[in-house]
């Protein structure tokens, strides 16, 4: 919302959710047309080995795009302990269907976190000053916002795995499931975005939890719940990454030894990444524009356009023709903007409104103040 402008951001959320819904169904239709049962085999059948290799790289990189410059060492022990205790054992499952109940728990915790964000929008929001440009319709960084939204909705890399786990799987049944899932997802995303932005407006950071005060016990519980959701969600991502390696290097099947070995290696790399990250904003943007955009916008459209024998005026082909160039624009310009104008995080510092003696501020803009915060010092300098 901060990057796009609040009204345009809401519209973009609905637009990205529609494109996600459409492209997920398009992938399964493409699989039916080509007689394939995985994203990789669909692209291989459509564009040959070069397309297969490109998709494999994108699917593999999806969990691993990082900002290598930031190191935050205070949480290392907790990350390693939770990884070894929970994430690794869950990631060793061979059947993705067994992760269904685990994913449901993650969904419940997401609703709990949403409740906390909504509560603080009511109790904290009125005490935080609003920027003058907080309610403008659009802002120039909207493409960066699309990258983050694409990251939020992407699940294309494992859609064939989920589709294959359905009983009596059909395109019609898949479409109903996708419609309902995307509807619930966009509802949650809109509430999160609206409540978070209404609370902090122009002060919103790349990681929303960085905005809340350190002494807020309710938000601390929310951070704990968020950590649990990551622990419970990552095994699905690991499943996809492991399958990509198995398909490329082992012909699609892994012995018990290599199954365990690859899982451990993947988890170790992902854990190393998490130890090197202290701000989610740049991760979401880069992952969104470099991996999510082609996986959502470009590849499903290109596969369907090449495989389908429907007339050019067919609605699926028209939407696909629109999606493909838009995805290219989001990918190219989103990457440039993410590098030149990354989202900021305070990296654990308290925001000025967390201090009890803070001066009340109203209707201020970025050009009206300079903010410096230290553990015991708050310095706000006003200038024209």
What is the rounded CA–CA span in Å between residue 131 and residue 361? 10
Say if CB 127 and CB 196 are below 8 A apart: no
> How confident is the model at residue 270, as a pLDDT?
80
For residue 58, count other CB atoms closer than 10 A to its CB. 22
| Domain map (residue ranges) of the chain | 6-348, 355-384
Query: Token pair for residue 129?
Result: 């000053």
Alpha helices in the chain (DSSP H): 6-34, 39-61, 76-82, 88-91, 100-123, 142-153, 159-165, 171-200, 217-249, 256-275, 280-287, 293, 299-307, 315-340
Residue 223: alpha-carbon gap to chain centroid: 17
Main-chain phi, psi angles of 314, to 5 degrees: -65, 140
Whether the CA torsion 282, 284, 285, 291 is positive or negative: it is: positive
Minimal CA–CA distance to 158: which of 287, 15, 299, 37?
Answer: 37
How is residue 148 written in tokens? 């983050």
CB atoms within 10 A of CB 384: 4
Which pLDDT score, from 0 to 100, does residue 345 have? 66
- Cα separations (Å) of 152 from 26, 147, 185, 285, 287? 19, 9, 9, 10, 10
Identify the pLDDT of residue 348.
64
Q: What is the pLDDT of residue 349?
A: 74
Per the document, the length of the chain is: 384
- Two tokens, residue 130: 């609003």
* C-alpha–C-alpha distance, residues 159 and 178, integer Å: 10
pLDDT tens for the chain, 384 residues long, are 888 999 999 999 999 999 999 999 999 999 999 998 888 889 999 999 888 888 888 877 765 554 544 434 456 777 777 778 888 888 888 777 777 777 788 889 999 999 999 999 999 988 888 888 888 999 988 988 898 898 888 888 778 878 888 888 899 999 999 999 999 999 999 999 999 999 999 888 878 888 888 888 999 999 889 888 888 888 887 887 888 888 888 877 888 888 899 888 888 888 887 777 766 777 778 888 888 889 899 999 999 999 988 898 899 999 999 999 999 999 998 888 888 877 666 666 778 888 766 544 433 333 333 333 333 333 333 222
Containing H/E element for 378? strand 377-382
Closest C-alpha to 240, from 331, 164, 304, 323 = 164
The pLDDT value recorded for residue 382 is 27
192/1 Cα distance (integer angstroms): 10
Q: What angle do CA 194, 233, 74 make, to 5 degrees?
A: 80
Triad 172, 173, 175: Cα angle to 5°? 65
Of 289, 255, 259, 303, nearest to 48 by C-alpha is 303
Residue 381: which H helix or E strand, with range? strand 377-382
The structure tokens listed for 255 are 């012995």
**Distant-in-sequence, close-in-space partners of 75: CB < 8 Å, separation ≥ 6:** none
Rg (CA), the chain: 22
- Per DSSP, the three-state class of 369 is strand
**What is the C-alpha to C-alpha distance for residues 26 and 171, in angstroms, rounded to an integer?**
10
Cβ atoms within 10 Å of 176's Cβ, excluding its own: 11
* pLDDT at residue number 193: 92
Residue 247 is given by DSSP the state H
Are residues 345 and 205 in contact, defined by beta-carbon separation less than 8 angstroms? Answer: yes
CATH of span 6-348: 1.20.1740
């Amino acid at each position: 919302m901060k990057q796009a402008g609040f009204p345009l951001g809401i519209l973009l959320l609905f637009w990205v959710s529609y494109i996600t819904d459409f492209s997920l169904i398009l992938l399964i239709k493409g699989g039916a047309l080509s007689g394939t049962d995985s994203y990789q085999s669909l692209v291989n059948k459509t564009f040959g080995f070069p397309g297969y290799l490109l998709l494999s790289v994108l699917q593999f990189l999806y969990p691993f795009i990082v900002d290598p410059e930031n190191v935050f060492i205070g949480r290392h022990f907790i990350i390693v302990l939770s990884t070894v205790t929970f994430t690794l054992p869950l990631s060793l499952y061979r059947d993705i269907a067994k992760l269904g109940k685990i994913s449901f728990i993650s969904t419940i915790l997401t609703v709990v976190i949403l409740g906390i964000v909504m509560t603080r929008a009511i109790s904290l929001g009125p005490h935080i000053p609003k920027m003058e440009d907080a309610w403008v319709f659009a802002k120039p960084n909207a493409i960066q916002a699309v990258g983050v939204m694409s990251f939020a909705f992407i699940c294309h890399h494992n859609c064939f795995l989920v589709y294959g786990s359905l009983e009596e799987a059909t395109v019609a049944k898949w479409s109903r499931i996708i419609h309902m899932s995307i509807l619930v997802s966009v509802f949650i995303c809109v509430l999160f975005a609206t409540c978070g932005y209404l609370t902090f407006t122009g002060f919103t950071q790349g990681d929303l939890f960085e905005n809340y005060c350190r002494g807020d016990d309710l938000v601390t519980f929310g951070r704990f719940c968020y950590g649990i959701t990551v622990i419970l969600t990552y095994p699905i991502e690991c499943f996809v990454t492991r399958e990509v390696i198995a398909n490329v290097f082992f012909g699609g099947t892994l012995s018990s030894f290599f199954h365990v070995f690859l899982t451990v290696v993947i988890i170790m790399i992902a854990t190393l990444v998490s130890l090197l990250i202290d701000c989610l904003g740049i991760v979401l943007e880069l992952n969104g524009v470099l991996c999510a955009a082609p996986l959502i916008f470009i590849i499903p459209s290109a596969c369907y356009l090449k495989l389908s024998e429907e007339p050019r005026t067919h609605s699926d082909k028209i939407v696909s023709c629109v999606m493909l160039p838009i995805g290219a624009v989001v990918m190219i310009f989103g990457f440039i903007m993410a590098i030149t104008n990354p989202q900021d995080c305070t990296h654990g510092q308290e925001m000025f409104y967390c201090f009890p003696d803070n001066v009340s501020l109203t209707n201020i803009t970025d050009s009206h103040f300079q903010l410096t915060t230290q553990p015991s010092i708050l310095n706000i300098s006003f200038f024209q």
